[in-house]
Every structure is written in C-alpha cells, then in structure tokens.
C-alpha cells in the first residue's frame, strides 16, 4: 500500500518530531512516512534529529525572504515539489496565514500543550502555555492534536489527553510531563490516523 508523505514543520528541540521518528522506527506508522523536515530556525536541534535519521531537511527563514507571504510561498513550494500529503506542525512557532491553511484543508495538524479551548490561541506557545495554566490554578491540563484552520488553535480536535498538575509543579516540570504523558503519545497516533484516512481515499 502506498504511504502518505509527511512533512514536519519545526522550530526548536524537536522532541515531538523524535516521538514521530521513534513511532515510525517501531513500525507503528503504517500509513505514512516522514519525508521532509522544514525548520524556520537555523539552529533548531530538530534539524539534527532529522539528519541523524536520514530525513531530508530544509531551512526557510522569514528574515531572508523578506515577508510572511514569501516565507509561506517557499514552504508551499517545498510541500508541493516533494508531493507531501500531510503537514505536521510539531513545535512550529510561526502562525500560518489563512491563504496557507485554506490551501491544505484537513491536511495540516498541530500539537498544542494544553486542553483546547483552554490556554490557546495567539501568544500561547511553548512554556507560556504552562505558565498560564499554573497561574490560573487549574488542576488538570494536557495536550491537544487538532487540524489547523484559519483560527489559531481553532481547528477540529483529533485527540486530547489529560495530565494532572502537581502541587510543586513549575512551568518546566509541567511542560516535561505534558510532553511525556500526552504529546509524544497522541501526536504519533493522530498522524497515523489521519494518514490512514488519506491513503484509503487515494
């Protein structure tokens, strides 16, 4: 059976990319293959993770291209030239415009480190999300995988997993537990689920 080609967009450490690579290595990614990693940061450790696993990489810098439009066009060219079927945002810290998201309906998925609709939308990314959850005093948080549309963190939810907050949690300890107990589990599972749907429709 033909597999769906996956592009993973990253900006940082790439632990979610690593979870996806490990899932593929275990033979669990039955319907998809990680075919390309695109970073908007030159120094992202995610690039090293991809290189260590023989996955082609590309760096696209907004500053060099001059505008959001040119930045997105460059990414679209890479996606289209490589015959990519699904785009996974795994710690990609740049909001994509409506022009981009509407070009790939139900073909872009994102992992967010909270239970949407809490602590999400513009300005909620990375550690800030966990700082906000602790400041509010919620007792349960978690992670969400969702389709990406024109509303930041507003697309249809694919999967969620809850994580309990501990009395002595700091943003850093909470971020680590949300990754380990939720993100690294539901992201690969959701990617497989969406890929399987894509290949069955091909």
Q: Which long-range contacts (CB under 8 A, 24 or more apart) does 100-108 make?
A: 100/72, 100/75, 100/76, 101/148, 101/149, 101/150, 102/149, 102/150, 103/76, 104/79, 105/149, 106/147, 106/156, 106/194, 107/198, 108/147, 108/148
- Distance of alpha carbon 147 from alpha carbon 149, whole angstroms: 7
Residue 91 binds ligand GAR (CB under 6 A): yes
Stretch that binds ligand GAR, among 56-64, 71-79, 109-117, 163-171 (CB under 6 A): 109-117
Whether 130 is a known active-site residue: answer no
Which residue from 4, 5, 6, 15 is in contact with ligand GAR, where contact means CB under 6 A?
15
Residues 36-55 vs ligand GAR: string with x where CB under 6 A?
Answer: ----------x---------
Determine if the peptide bond prior to 35 is cis (ω within 30°). no
- Tell me the CA distances in angstroms from 14 to 43, 55, 67, 139, one per residue in order: 11, 13, 25, 27
Residue 13 binds ligand GAR (CB under 6 A): yes
Residue 12 binds ligand GAR (CB under 6 A): yes
User: Closer CB to ligand GAR, residue 5 or residue 112?
Assistant: 112
Residue 111 binds ligand GAR (CB under 6 A): yes
User: Closer CB to ligand GAR, residue 53 or residue 199?
Assistant: 53
Which residue from 23, 104, 125, 147 is in contact with ligand GAR, where contact means CB under 6 A?
125
What is the smallest separation between the CB atom of 70 and ligand GAR, expressed in angstroms? 23
Which residue from 38, 84, 129, 182 is in contact with ligand GAR, where contact means CB under 6 A?
129
Residue 155 binds ligand GAR (CB under 6 A): no
Contact residues for ligand GAR (CB under 6 A)?
10, 12-16, 46, 90-91, 111-113, 125-126, 129, 179, 183
Which residues does the annotation mark as catalytic?
Answer: 112
């Amino acid at each position: 059976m033909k597999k769906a080609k996956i592009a993973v967009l990253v900006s940082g450490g790439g632990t979610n990319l690593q979870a996806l690579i490990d899932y593929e290595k275990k033979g669990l990614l039955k319907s998809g293959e990680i075919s390309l990693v695109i970073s908007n940061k030159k120094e992202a450790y995610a690039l090293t993770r991809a290189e260590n696993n023989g996955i082609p990489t590309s760096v696209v810098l907004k500053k060099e291209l001059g505008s959001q439009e040119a930045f997105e066009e460059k990414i679209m060219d890479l996606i289209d030239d490589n015959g990519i079927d699904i785009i996974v945002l795994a710690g990609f810290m740049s909001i994509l415009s409506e022009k981009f998201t509407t070009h790939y309906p139900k073909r872009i998925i994102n992992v967010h480190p909270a239970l949407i609709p809490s602590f999400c939308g513009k300005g909620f990314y990375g550690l800030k999300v966990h700082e906000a959850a602790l400041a509010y005093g919620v007792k349960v948080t978690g992670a969400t995988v969702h389709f990406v549309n024109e509303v930041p963190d507003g697309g249809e939810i694919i999967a969620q997993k809850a994580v309990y907050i501990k009395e002595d949690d700091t943003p850093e300890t909470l971020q680590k537990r949300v990754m380990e107990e939720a993100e690294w589990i539901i992201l690969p599972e959701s990617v497989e689920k969406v890929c399987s749907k894509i290949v069955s429709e091909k």
